[in-house]
Amino acid sequence: MEIDVTERAIKWFEDELSLEKGDSIRFFGKTYGNTEVHEGFSVGMSVDKPDSEPLAQKKVNEVTYFAGKEDEWFFSGYNLEIDFNPELEEPIYHFHESKS
């Protein structure tokens, strides 16, 4: 699994969550909602530190965006792209098939 965060999404996270260097954002599967590939589940996020080695991570501007191994069931077979939806003024999540 890989995580990609667009510049628009990075700006939103930094501005809206008042992120500082060393902070981490965790992405996880949660019940209710839908994604492009899951019915009944959506992407949740929280400001959180990894408990152990993450499933995947991307460090940008000294902020770590990650998914934990405990959520491998949710992300299995996919890469996660985090973008920004200007109409809703919130992040949007896209799943792309993983080649690995």
User: Can you give the pTM of this predicted structure?
Assistant: 0.90
Tokens standing for residue 65: 């965006």
Domain holding 30: CATH number?
2.60.300.12
pLDDT of residue 41: 83
Q: What is the pLDDT of residues 10-38, one digit of tens each?
A: 999 999 999 999 999 999 998 877 777 77
pLDDT at position 42 over 80: yes
**Overall number of domains in the chain:** 1
> What is the span of the domain harbouring residue 89?
3-97
| Residue that is written with structure tokens 């995580």 in the block | 3
Residues 6+ apart with CB under 8 A from 31: 40, 41
Q: What is the pLDDT of residues 45-100, one digit of tens each?
A: 999 887 788 999 999 999 999 999 999 999 999 999 999 999 999 999 999 998 86
